[in-house]
Amino acid sequence: VPLGLGLGYKELNCDDPETEQAALVAVDYINSNLLQGYKHTLNQIDKVKVWSRRPMGEVFEIEIDTLETVCHVLDPTPSANCSVRQLRQHAVEGDCDFRVLKQNGQFSVLSAKCDSSPDSAEDVRKVCPSCPLLAPLNDTKVVHAVDAALAAFNARNNGSYFQLVEVSRAQLVPLPASTYVEFAVAATDCVAQDVTDPAVCNMLAEKQYGFCKSTLTEKLGGEDVAVTCTVFPTQPVLPQPQPDGINIPSSMVSSATPESPPDAVVVGPLV
């Protein structure tokens, strides 16, 4: 639609290469500024309007749908290499409104607003009647499973004591009765084997994060804990550019998005 119809904007095709460029910049922005949870990937462009901007440039007002990937935001893996969380694993989508400026051929984010929500239980049941649904992160079984997994990891760890950063997702499995959890950890200034009071341990100035997956299986008279953690390389903290009027803490963000990530170290599985 040409300019000059009284609306002040033009409508591009949602699959237009220029629209896709703006959408990909928006998704990169999401992944660079998420402080918790998982990286997202573009799923669909819902709407786009392009406004002329004086004295120069264009503003893309764009609505996009995203999907959660399996990569935690602290994982330095480029989001292009992260697979999408499947419906059977209880997928999560994001709905976002962005304003992206294109000036001198360069895109930059002016504003962003996103909400994320898990797929409905009914939809998960349609594709997999027996698949476990996402559980509340403050569920007592979830909290216990994370505590047990972290203790098991630190007990076998000869280096730094790792403390919990966040519980990222959890599922209660009915058969065999078990709790599956995923959580982020960070290295502290304590030595794992020497810790008596974890409360006195402090995260290192040069942050070193890890991401753990664990299953706690209930047994007669006890429980089994299996945990695998990937420890990411330390990353220097760099300031992040922010759009006008938005102030997002960046201390964790910069460590999650290096230009060329070194290899991570997988520790585990530990049983």
Q: Catalog residues that contact another protein under the rule CB under 8 A.
A: 11-16, 19-20, 41-48, 65, 67, 84, 87, 91, 93, 119, 123
What are the E-state strand segments in 57-191?
58-72, 92-103, 106-118, 160-173, 178-191
* Beta partners for residue 179, in sequence order: 172, 216
What's the rounded Cα separation, in Å, for the pair 107 and 86?
31
Q: How many CB atoms lie within 10 A of CB 246?
A: 12
Measured from the CB atom, the residue of 65 and 147 that comes closer to another protein is 65
CB of 230 to another protein, least distance (A): 24
Residue 38 C-beta: closest distance to another protein, Å: 14
The residue among 95 and 218 lying less far from another protein, judged by its C-beta, is 95
The H or E element containing residue 144 is helix 140-155
Closest to another protein by CB, 86 vs 202, is 86
Instruction: Please name the amino acid found at residue 238.
Output: L
Question: In whole angstroms, how close is the CB of 14 to another protein at the nearest point?
Answer: 3
For the CA atoms of 14, 80, 27, 203, what is the dihedral angle to 10 degrees?
170
Name every residue whose Cβ is closer than 8 Å to that of residue 34 and which is 6 or more positions away in sequence. Answer: 40, 73, 253, 256
Closer residue to another protein, CB minimum distance, 14 or 226: 14
Query: Measured from the CB atom, is 118 or 261 closer to another protein?
Result: 118
Residue whose CB is less far from another protein, 123 or 206: 123
What does the chain come to in residues? 271
Q: C-beta of 252: minimal distance to another protein in Å?
A: 27
Give me the least distance between CB of 194 and another protein, in Å please. Answer: 46
* Cα R_g (the chain), whole angstroms: 22
Q: How far is the CB of 44 from another protein (least distance, A)?
A: 5
